[in-house]
Amino acid sequence: MPKRLYARSLIIIIAPMVLLQSVIAFVFMERHWQMVTERLSTAVVRDISAIIDILETYPQEPDYANIIRISQQRLDLNVSVLPPAPLPPPGPKPFFSILDYFLNEEITRQINRPFWIDTVGDSDLVEIRIQLEDKVLRVFAKRSQAYASNTLIFLTWMIGTALVLLTIAIAFLRNQIKPIQQLSEAAESFGKGQPMPADFYPHGAEEVRKAGIAFIQMRERIERQIEQRTAMLSGVSHDLRTILTRFKLQLAIAGTKIDTVPLNQDITDMQNMLEGYLAFARGEGSEEQDVLDLQTLFRKLEEEAKLRDRGFSSEMHGSSQIQVRPNAFTRLVSNLVGNAFRYAQSVHLTAIHKDNWLTITVDDDGAGIPEDKREEVFKPFVRLDEARNQDAGGTGLGLAIARDIARNHGGDITLESSPTGGLRAIISIPA
């Protein structure tokens, strides 16, 4: 079998058509051709046999005018009566001629006299000579009277139209295979670290377009993860170097009198940063999916709101049971609600589970985020506040982790303005 999809598709198209036409030509058409030719030959020989009976039964004029006229007008046969003479020697037999075969068979069966026939050549006439007692009967019959010639025309049309249809099918098939070839080239280029071809875009059949879109989304996710990991390593290197520098300065200034309070604070800050970095780098991709009860999660968030002295309310529409990675999804919602608790006094959470799709909306009454910054905040280590204190500014990974988890579930997070005056975060995932 050929290796390429295009060649295999051609075989799938051509093989059934060739097989079908072969069956029609060699089984049905051949039998039909033979049957019609046999019946036509039988009818012609029957007419000739009737003429011979008339010649031998009834007296005829010297010139046989009446029998010639009747044969020509009623039977469409050109008849002439020749003086007695030997029949011509047998001519060369055609390689394949069912007409020659059936005429021989029928003349032998119906007339049973010495005869000579000539069916060779491109002439439209067939010559038949029959040896009688005192004369020779010569008959010219049209080839179409004894031979089913229209079958060849039918076969010619069948093969011709099949070739035309195959040409059209091959052209359309090449057009359908082209998007798959382009997708393969784009995937190969991406695998080699080369930029994707500029002319690549999902097109073709619906399944091919879906495959192209899935490839583009996969490439974007991989590039985004690589970018995030690179940014994370840069941030880790910079932040840890800063704290280590502060350690050195404090130790150099302290001399023999060391104040451990600032050092303990720096150690705590470093521990918090490392935990955030590791959580972002580790992700939750290896966790298995399981059932999570949103009502249980909302109750935990409500308890956290009480500890932080924040207002919190929630509402659930549809089933609260969802199929997700429980730890990752809990972290996703907690990050968004935790950010809202940090910058707002009141948070309202709405969950709608309908048509195998889950939408969770987090509304707060805080200061919000400017529209031109709403996409930027999802980048790792981006902090909109200007505070240098790590407790005030955080590590800048909360939203990045949240969106990463949402996209790993096949969904996304978007930010909008909230009707309560603050920020609205919308989580949309299939569930």
pLDDT digits (tens, 9 = 90+) for 245-256: 776 677 667 655
For residue 263, the model assigns a pLDDT of 64
For residue 43, the model assigns a pLDDT of 92
For residue 414, the model assigns a pLDDT of 93
For residue 51, the model assigns a pLDDT of 92
Closest Cα to residue 274, out of 227, 233, 245? 233
For residue 50, the model assigns a pLDDT of 92
Q: What type of residue is 295? A: Q
CA distance 106 to 44: 9
For residue 430, the model assigns a pLDDT of 87
Q: What is the mean pLDDT of each run of 10 residues along the chain (431 residues)?
A: 78 84 75 80 92 88 88 91 88 68 87 86 80 91 78 76 85 84 81 69 83 86 77 70 71 62 64 61 62 93 91 93 88 90 92 92 91 86 53 64 84 92 92 76
For residue 201, the model assigns a pLDDT of 80
For residue 193, the model assigns a pLDDT of 56
For residue 249, the model assigns a pLDDT of 73
